[in-house]
């Protein structure tokens, strides 16, 4: 596990509707997510993006949310059930540094890595696993908070992604974030 993982109780703040004022999930996700897609979301917390992802992929799509904190997943599970989206969202609790997604090889359309890579114990492993899970032409929407990740660390993150066979398609503008859309090379 990383030296710093967001504490589970902070998930309530991160999932707050007030956050939508500066980071609207639908506005961020809509250009990248289509009905019927399979989306992998590591580090969903209590589901700030997850519920909107599930609505965007629809009943024919699938969102696989994995988090190292069971309390985050249980809260997300309750929120998904309340929203009627539990059939679209699959929850996973990986152990160790791996995402344990070998069973998803070549099946994922999009990996949403929002404010999570800086907390991982092995970012290089993350990018290798994400790349292996992606379909040909699959995408990674990568965003890191500017308050935790400086420009040098962001450049190193992009270098790790390139080393794993991902290429930057576009820099994205997401408030309070470094962001890019990557694709499987």
CATH number for 124: 3.40.50.150
Question: Residue 25: is its pLDDT beyond 70?
Answer: yes
- Structural domain count of the chain: 1
Question: What is the average per-residue pLDDT within 64-88?
Answer: 94
Residue 96, pLDDT above cutoff 90: no
Per-residue H/E/C for the chain: CCCCCCCHHHHHHHCCHHHHHCCCHHHHHCCCCCCCCEEEEECCCCCCCHHHHHHHHCCCCEEEEECCCHHHHHHHHHHHHHCCCCCCEEEECCCCCCCCCHHHCCCEEEEEEECCHHHCCCHHHHHHHHHHHEEEEEEEEEEEECCCCCHHHHHHHHHHHHHCCEEEEEECCCCCEEEEEEEEC
Domain assignment present for 79: yes
Higher pLDDT, 115 or 7: 115
Q: Which pLDDT band, with edges at 50, 70 and 90, does 180 fall under?
A: very high
Mean pLDDT over residues 8-29, rounded? 68
What would the pLDDT profile of 120-172 be if each residue is shown by its tens digit?
999 999 999 999 999 999 999 999 999 889 999 999 999 999 999 999 999 99
pLDDT band for 72, please (50, 70, 90 cuts): confident
On whether residue 97 sits in a domain, the answer given is: yes
Condensed to tens digits (0 to 9), the pLDDT of residues 76-85 reads: 999 999 999 9
Q: Which domain holds residue 35?
A: 8-184
Q: What is the pLDDT of residue 166?
A: 98
pLDDT higher than threshold 70 for residue 22: no
* 3 domain-assigned: no
- The verdict on residue 84 lying in a domain is yes
Whether 111 is in a domain gets the answer yes
Q: Is the pLDDT of residue 95 over 90?
A: no
Q: Is residue 2 part of a domain?
A: no
pTM: 0.89
Domain assignment present for residue 30? The answer is: yes
């Amino acid at each position: 596990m990383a030296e710093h993982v967001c504490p589970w109780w902070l998930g309530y703040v991160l999932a707050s509707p007030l956050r939508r004022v500066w980071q609207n999930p639908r506005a961020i996700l809509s250009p990248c997510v289509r009905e019927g897609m399979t989306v992998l979301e590591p580090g969903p917390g209590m589901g700030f993006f997850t519920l909107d992802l599930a609505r965007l992929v629809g009943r024919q799509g699938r969102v696989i949310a994995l988090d190292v904190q069971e309390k985050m997943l249980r809260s997300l599970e309750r929120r998904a059930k309340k929203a009627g989206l539990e059939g679209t969202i699959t929850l996973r609790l990986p152990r160790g540094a791996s995402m344990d997604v070998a069973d998803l090889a070549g099946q994922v359309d999009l990996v949403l890595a929002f404010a999570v890579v800086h907390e991982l114990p092995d970012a290089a492993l993350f990018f290798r696993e994400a790349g292996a899970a992606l379909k040909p032409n699959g995408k990674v929407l990568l965003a890191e908070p500017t308050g935790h990740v400086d420009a040098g660390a962001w450049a190193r993150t992009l270098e790790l992604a390139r080393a794993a066979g991902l290429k930057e398609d576009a820099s994205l503008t997401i408030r309070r974030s470094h962001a890019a859309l990557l694709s499987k090379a």
